[in-house]
Amino acid sequence: MTAYRLSAGGLVDRSAPLTFTFDGQSMQGFEGDTLASGLLANDRMLVGRSFKYHRPRGIVSAGVSEPNALVTLGLGARSDPNTKATVAELYAGLDARSQNRWPSLKYDVGAVNGLLSPFLSAGFYYKTFMWPAAFWEKVYEPIIRKAAGLGRAVLERDPETYEKCWAHCDLLVIGSGPTGLMAALSAGRAGLRVVLADEGFRHGGSLLSETTPIDGAPAAAFAAAAITELEALPNVTLMTRTTVFGWYDDNVFGALERVQKHVATPSAKLPVERLWRIAARRALLATGAEERPLVFGGNDRPGVMMAGALSTYANRYGVAAGTSVAIFTNGSAGYRTAADLSAHGISVAAIIDSRAESPDVAPSGTRVIRGGSIVDTKGKLRLSGLVVERAGFEEIIDCDAIGMSGGFSPVIHLACQRGAKPLWSEALKAFVAPDVGQGFGVAGSAAGLYSLPACLRDGADKAQAFANDLGFSTSPADLPVVGAEPDPSFTALWYVAGAKSKAFVDFQNDVHVSDLGLALREGFGHVEHAKRYTTNGMATDQGKLSGINATGLLAAMQGISPADVGTTTFRPFYTPVPFGALAGTSRDEHAAPKRVSPLHGWAARNGAVFIDSGLWYRPSWFARAGEKTWRESVDREVLTVRANVGLCDVSTLGKIEVFGPDAAEFLNRVYCNPFLKLPVGKARYGLMLREDGMVYDDGTTSRLGPEHFVVTTTTALAGGVLSHMEYCAQVLWPDLNLRFCSVSDQWAQMAIAGPKARLVVQALVEDDVSNAAFPFLAAKAVTLKGGLKGRLFRISFSGELAYELAVPAGYGEAVADALMEAGRAHGICAYGLEALNVLRIEKGHVTHAELDGRVTPDDVGFGRMLSSQKADFIGKRLSTRFGLTAADRMQMVGLKPIEKDKDIRAGAHLLREGAKPSTLNDQGYVSSACHSPVLGQFIALGFLKSGRERYGEKVVIWDRLRGEETLAEVCSPVFVDPANARLNL
């Protein structure tokens, strides 16, 4: 036995034992344990294998900086790889598994890499796997992938739920150690809206491991009392298990709350994790300081740990990480750990102090080796001893754990995530955060204050300063009484000379001292280059322990100050954030809103097969019994409209009502064709250009009154056209007197098309809809029989006699049902988007397949719509530029295959007959194609150079993707009723 549970002490609940498993072995822990403390209590130090050499690795830390103890938690789809055992909260039934080993932790085949280590130096992959290129995919990568990597990602669908949430506060306090608690108390008492967030599952931070009494009571009791007071304040929000991972613009902080990561069976009512965005007027970073490892020979042996972690395991969790512990320190912190361990009855084998002299006092009876250094360690899967060197003499000391303490680095990541560079403090021998302003302060150990009284005072002072800054009055801080603490000084020690085996800098990525030396020699000495070249700090721990030592080593090797080396860039996220949490509830069908047409129920009842169309969910076709393919349904729908009558949902078109004395003038400026003289009661087809002269959108606009218009847009650009019109009205021409608003959702709109459309419409509408009373392009408010008010438009996309009837949305389904009922005698059918597309291609009407942002009005045959009479309109000036009026522009044409049974697909290229199939010979392209049941063959719309002069010519339709070449005849794009006789029935 080496590691074990102490008989007493700690903040674990010994009355609440928990059973968990590690690599299938059942173990016992207590409520309040982490997985790491639970493992140590069961004498499990070896928990993983390193990334590159597969070296055995043990628990190093007691927090988020942990490089080694990465495990996979949970089962099946719920598996969570690369979880730090040092922060994972223990719960009954927790199933944890080690990673990166095969077949087992103790006997790992990959460890052969360790024997090959002379060949696996930094940059090895870059140098070795460069050539030949073909080998990369076939040989090198599969081997590397098999050997490397940590936990395995789960391929099953993530069953967890996530959500996002906003919070707003006057002061966000990050970290609830002594500094953060005092800051939250001060600000909370002053009445500020405070959020106190801590990554741990229990508030208190370092106070939970602290042995110095506060106000005469244990530090943890002080923390508990502070939390009780804060909980009672309605203006304070306490968040545990919440990591503030990023600082963004305007003091918005990202935080991840692990809501149910610590329960065996998550409740379906709650998300498993919650992503917070916290908008804070002021924020205080109270994240403490990180103890540094020492870089000495054999420092990665399982059992070599951070000294502070040994204290934490003993004081907070009641766990001894070893029976005989050596301390290796360059400052006073190591002596504190020795005292903590001694107090728990854990034997301290020796304190090895790198300093020749120091004022620190060891527990009585403890051997102190001043001016000593560890040059090697003994043991295989577990430390069994160390080799200490002093004044040229070596000695072997038996021990099963080493507590190393290399000084402290303030945890300043968040303050430096927005470009501010950490500053080197010669006094602190550490990088500190510069003044980042913007109401984001740093306090306590994170600001380089290491004694408990100083931290308590600093937290109170800085919170009060923020409170006063925000206009809150404060009373002098009521600071607790703390006994004097020893001076927490240390002497920088970047590398322990005389190493007899590898001295690791980055445990997780297996970077050792000589790798950094190689990087320097090969010209990658810049701290950012060295990181990429050696992979130091690139693992999941992001160099929390290794970064500062790499900087110190690079400085020492060059004989310069760490200030001149600097740190690598601190970026969000401070600790990993799952993709699921970033997506929140926006996944699967909820990734975007689903817009529902007011006629949805009608369509569903009529057998609609729906399709996503932008945000809408629209009927594609209406399948009837016996129809085996979608084409059968579509052909029937098209022929029914051409012969009888059909009903189509066009509610999704954008509808904008425009009011005011200048409404007509405004429309005259946003459309390229004239609108001033549009009579009341009439609709007109309009083309909107972009300022560069290209067509933007099209639609019909109707004048319902002298100062009242209703504009329709395409479904796709309903939002864009509204924004464009708002820009024109608000920014370009604010002097025009008009107002408008979208009424898209107010109206259910139905197209009733076909030679028998009038019979159907007249059956419902009170007003006379005859050709004489209501001719093509008529538009007006109508009354339906029974009194319902609606709007009727005589417009046609299909080329048939057609009406569009709009009624208030709630009545849509009932009116559509009534139209179907009225049309039954006339053979009515519902038709969907596919039939609508066939009908409009047959008629040569354009959609955004043609109006793709590259076409001018003339390209699609609307050149005459460009008004030369108007002084100005959007796109007028640039529509006349040379390139847009060139004679060889591609113009819209119709295309018919010479062999009638040949298929045409949109996207194919057009070539001259006999030309070599090459884009160099490109003459144009196919924009829309369909099977025309009326013509009994495939037809297409396309764009062809000088196309309107080439009717009758044969061109090749070249579908490069499918390797097809089809000979086709160029023709007018209007395949059906070119004289428009059917429109005016």
Q: Restricting to residues 635-674, which ones interact with another protein according to CB under 8 A?
A: 657, 659-660
Binding positions for another protein, 513-552, rule CB under 8 A:
none
- Residue from 125, 129, 140, 248 touching another protein (CB under 8 A): that is 248
833, 836, 837, 839: CA torsion to nearest 10: 160
Looking at beta carbons, which pairs linking 540-543 to residues 24 or more positions away fall under 8 Å? 540/70, 540/82, 540/150, 540/508, 540/576, 541/64, 541/65, 541/66, 541/67, 541/508, 543/506, 543/568
Q: Does 250 bind another protein (CB under 8 A)?
A: yes
**316 SS3 class:** coil
* Ordered strands of the 646-649 beta sheet: 779-783, 789-793, 802-808, 747-753, 646-649, 829-830
Cβ at position 946, least distance to another protein in Å: 25
Whether the CB-CB separation of 343 and 210 falls below 8 Å is answered with no
- Residue from 611, 818, 915, 974 touching another protein (CB under 8 A): that is 818
Q: Does 807 bind another protein (CB under 8 A)?
A: yes
Cβ at position 815, least distance to another protein in Å: 6
Cβ at position 817, least distance to another protein in Å: 9
Whether the CB-CB separation of 71 and 35 falls below 8 Å is answered with yes
Cβ at position 886, least distance to another protein in Å: 15
| Burial of residue 525 (number of CB atoms within 10 Å: 0-12, 13-18, 19+) | middle
65, 69, 74, 75: CA torsion to nearest 10: 140
Binding positions for another protein, 259-298, rule CB under 8 A:
268-270, 277, 279
- Comparing CB distances to another protein, the nearer of 790 and 933 is 790
Query: Cα–Cα distances in Å, from 842 out to 800, 827, 934?
Result: 11, 21, 8
Q: Does 167 bind another protein (CB under 8 A)?
A: yes
Binding positions for another protein, 741-800, rule CB under 8 A:
741, 743-747, 763-764, 784-788
Cβ at position 709, least distance to another protein in Å: 12
Q: Does 878 bind another protein (CB under 8 A)?
A: yes
Close Cβ partners of 485 (under 8 Å, ≥ 6 residues apart): 212, 451, 452, 453
- Comparing CB distances to another protein, the nearer of 523 and 786 is 786
Binding positions for another protein, 181-210, rule CB under 8 A:
193
- Residue from 106, 146, 367, 739 touching another protein (CB under 8 A): that is 739
Helix, strand and coil percent figures for the chain, each rounded to 5: 25, 30, 45
- Residue from 32, 180, 318, 598 touching another protein (CB under 8 A): that is 598
Residue count, binding to another protein (CB under 8 A): 78
Q: Does 732 bind another protein (CB under 8 A)?
A: yes
Q: Does 503 bind another protein (CB under 8 A)?
A: no
- Comparing CB distances to another protein, the nearer of 255 and 983 is 255
Cβ at position 40, least distance to another protein in Å: 35
Cβ at position 584, least distance to another protein in Å: 9
Cβ at position 157, least distance to another protein in Å: 18
d(CA 849, CA 176) in angstroms, rounded, equals 58
- Comparing CB distances to another protein, the nearer of 738 and 835 is 738
304, 306, 309, 313: CA torsion to nearest 10: 20
- Residue from 118, 234, 476, 734 touching another protein (CB under 8 A): that is 734
Whether the CB-CB separation of 621 and 609 falls below 8 Å is answered with yes
Whether the CB-CB separation of 248 and 415 falls below 8 Å is answered with no
Q: Does 821 bind another protein (CB under 8 A)?
A: yes
310 token code pair: 């040994």
Cβ at position 450, least distance to another protein in Å: 32
- Residue from 126, 135, 579, 727 touching another protein (CB under 8 A): that is 727
Helix 812-823 × helix 757-764 angle, to 10°? 130
Cβ at position 755, least distance to another protein in Å: 22
Binding positions for another protein, 415-444, rule CB under 8 A:
none
- Comparing CB distances to another protein, the nearer of 522 and 657 is 657
Question: Quick one: which of 923, 878, 932 has its CA closest to 902?
Answer: 932
Buried b (16+ CB within 10 A) or exposed e, 938-962: bbbbbbbbebeebeebebbbbbeee
Binding positions for another protein, 685-714, rule CB under 8 A:
691-692
Whether the CB-CB separation of 749 and 648 falls below 8 Å is answered with no
Cβ at position 952, least distance to another protein in Å: 38
Cβ at position 810, least distance to another protein in Å: 4
Q: Does 471 bind another protein (CB under 8 A)?
A: no
- Comparing CB distances to another protein, the nearer of 128 and 438 is 438
Q: Does 886 bind another protein (CB under 8 A)?
A: no
